[in-house]
Amino acid sequence: MLNIKEISETYRITIQELSTKFNIPVRTLQNWIYGTNTPAAYIPRMIEHILRLENELEANNNFIARVDKDLELASDLLHDKRFSEAIEIIDNI
């Protein structure tokens, strides 16, 4: 299980961004990082899980956008009767 500092570093998110995103005061996050206080065990797990899912969703959305672009190009090539080029693009998706 990652701690708050490791989560911040792993997901390249600042403490201020974590604070805003999860509605946790900056001071509370700093206290957790410096060991002044300790969060309930589920909190870092939940934060890490949400950030991981958001990263996966972004990666999937990027993939879908790329496939859409490739399919549009292949469709244009088919319309122009450039079948071999269209097939090559489709094969590379």
Q: What is the pLDDT of residue 40?
A: 96
**Could you give the CA distance from residue 48 to residue 88 in angstroms, rounded to a whole number?**
40
Mean pLDDT, rounded, for 39-45: 97
Mean pLDDT, rounded, for 29-54: 97
SS3 40: coil
Say whether pLDDT at 60 is over 90.
yes
Say whether pLDDT at 1 is over 90.
no
Q: Residue 47 — φ and ψ, nearest 5°?
A: -60, -45
